[in-house]
Amino acid sequence: MAVDIHSRELRIVGHDNDTVLDLRPIQGLWTEEQYLAMTDHSRRLLEFDDGYIEVLPMPTDKHQAISQFVFLAFLAFIQRIGGKVQYAPLRLQIRYGKHREPDILLVRDANDPRRQNRYWLGADLVVEIVSPDDPDRDTKVKRADYAEAGIPEYWIIDPEDEAITVLRLEGDSYKEHGIFHRDETATSALLNGFAMPVDAALDAR
């Protein structure tokens, strides 16, 4: 028996692929507590959006190579200033009723009280690597979500467009700090002195 999750559809299915229990009618009715309990015991990356449980695609080798390179770059920088950087899976609460799973998230102070054990209550910077199955999820939906959470900086790494977009929070929405392409170096508005060659990130193996 397994849990079959496609977008906002959930079914518990048997080995013969027959539906044992169709959970689609209760999509929109899940509580945050139920979501947290489910993800405490699941190997799938699941996000929560006002009663809906959403599945994230399984990362590819390329995705993980980029993620590892970017994580290590931030780690080398953030450790020197006393911060903390983590990578998925780690839940980030946008607000009560909404949780996301950024590819990478960090705080400039390792003792930041938002850094909780079960899930973080906020971050100073988050990174998403765009998934080809639904680019709008990372470029539009999560852009709005992370702005809602008040996260000062959001990096969007798009392997298809071969670009890194760095967004800085101004008021309640993001503005472009820069869109960096091949042969350029992405910089941070928040972390003075941090820089990442776009080619090195996109070509990580």
In this predicted model, what pLDDT tens digit does every residue of 112-140 receive, in sequence order?
Answer: 999 999 999 999 999 999 999 899 999 99
The reported pLDDT for the residue numbered 17 is 60
Domains, the chain: 2-55 (no CATH), 61-202 (3.90.1570.10)
- Cβ-contact 22, 63 below 8 angstroms: no
When pLDDT is cut at 50, 70 and 90, the band that residue 9 belongs to is low
Residue 64 has pLDDT above 80, yes or no: yes
Residue 3 has pLDDT above 50, yes or no: no
Burial status of residue 96 (CB atoms within 10 A of its CB: 0-12, 13-18, 19 or more): exposed
Tell me the C-alpha distance between 154 and 120, whole Å: 16
